[in-house]
Structure 1
Amino acid sequence: MAELICVGAIAGAFGVQGEVRLKSFTADPEAIANYGPLSTEDGATRFEVELTRAIKNGFAARLSGVATKEQADALKGTRLYAPREVLPSLPDDEFYHADLIGLTVFDTGGAELGRVKAVLNHGAGDILELTVPGNSATVLLPFTLAIVPTVDLSSERIVADPPDGLF
């Protein structure tokens, strides 16, 4: 099975004609319709996507096989995935979030800081959520060039220069 990347999520029904509220996680939000058909994470269900109009926080969309409000409501919270090979290749300084999750983070001296648990973005830029060995709490590391100068996907490692006191 091809590697899948999460490109969007269904936020519920929109209206009574079977349309859904669709949140796009792609750099160009409207491009989500170009990567189809999109599937559920397990690949069991596939949807052709037709964006019908922009709405607050996303799009109203028609999905193949979804004809009623009840069917659309039942899909609320479903994440939609596209095969990696249909997504555009990225410049050297950009990464898919899925590629960062699980990477080990080291400081500039080579000491392990933690492992990337999630990539968060609350509007002001990306933040790496790290699990720290021997600590149940996570640490939030800003994902900026100044703080994270090196991401080496082939070695599955990140080099970071965290601000004093963060760890």
Structure 2
Amino acid sequence: MASDSKLILVGQVSGGFGVKGEVRVTAYTADPMALLGYRDLLRADGSTGLTLLSGRPDKVGLVGRAKEIATKEEADALRGLKLFIPRERLPEPDEDEFYLTDLVGVQARDPEGVVLGTVKSVQNFGADDMLEIAPAAGGQTWYLPFTKDAVPDLHLADGWVLVVRPTEIGEREPD
């Protein structure tokens, strides 16, 4: 795997299922069965996590067999293991579409073109997606709602997004 390859979180081991060595995987993909298509799922460090051999849908993902697991105890021992695939294994998005992960690393510029920082991550704390911005001048990161009002223009091919900071997270007035 290329060292510059982005890893995308696609699932997490929930533990064993039954007594025959099957594993339950919570899927973070639109179609949980897509995990079978990816087959080779990686750990965060890029090493092999699970090699899915077969599976069936489950209420939160899939239940299946993996090359690395022979017993329920082995499956339970992997509970919590996050599973990734390289970004390049995802299908290319349609025109005017993108993956949220493609926002990570782009510059956040204000309407005057000033670089405010870099998108560090995209988070969702239960409501809407939020961009975590690492300030260009250093210091604590800040969050920006990923809405049309706050991020009206995306220039991903050029490596930047236009951001409009709501007044409540704008620059503080000196005391």
State TM-score, norm by structure 2. Answer: 0.77
- Aligned amino acid, residue 26 of structure 1: T
CA RMSD of aligned residues (A): 2.4
- Gaps in structure 1 of 5+ consecutive residues: none
1:21 alignment counterpart: 24
Query: Is 1:34 aligned to 2:37, yes or no?
Result: yes
1:47 alignment counterpart: 51
Q: 1:27 to 1:144 in 2, by over 3 A?
A: farther
Identity between Structure 1 and Structure 2 (%): 43
CA distance in 1 between partners of 2:134 and 2:88 (Å): 30
2:114 alignment counterpart: 111
- Aligned amino acid, residue 78 of structure 2: L
Worse overlay, 103-112 or 77-86: 77-86
CA distance in 2 between partners of 1:166 and 1:80 (Å): 34
Residues paired across the two proteins, number? 165
State TM-score, norm by structure 1. Answer: 0.81
2:145 alignment counterpart: 142
- Aligned amino acid, residue 169 of structure 2: L
- Gaps in structure 2 of 5+ consecutive residues: 171-175
CA distance in 2 between partners of 1:152 and 1:75 (Å): 40
Deviation at 1:154, TM superposition (A): 2.7
**Contact preservation (8 Å) 2:103, 2:119:** yes
**Contact preservation (8 Å) 1:36, 1:82:** no
Deviation at 1:102, TM superposition (A): 2.1
Q: In structure 2, the residue corresponding to 1:116 is in which secondary structure?
A: strand
**CA offsets 1:37-85 (integer angstroms, 9 cap, x no match):** 2222334325125333312x43333222212122112222322222334
Q: 1:79 to 1:161 in 2, by over 3 A?
A: same
2:173 alignment counterpart: none
1:6 alignment counterpart: 9
Query: Is 1:87 aligned to 2:100, yes or no?
Result: no
CA distance in 2 between partners of 1:37 and 1:21 (Å): 16
CA distance in 2 between partners of 1:47 and 1:31 (Å): 13
Kindly report which structure 2 residues correspond to 1:49-88, keeping only aligned pairs within 5 A, or say none: 49-55=53-59, 57-88=60-91
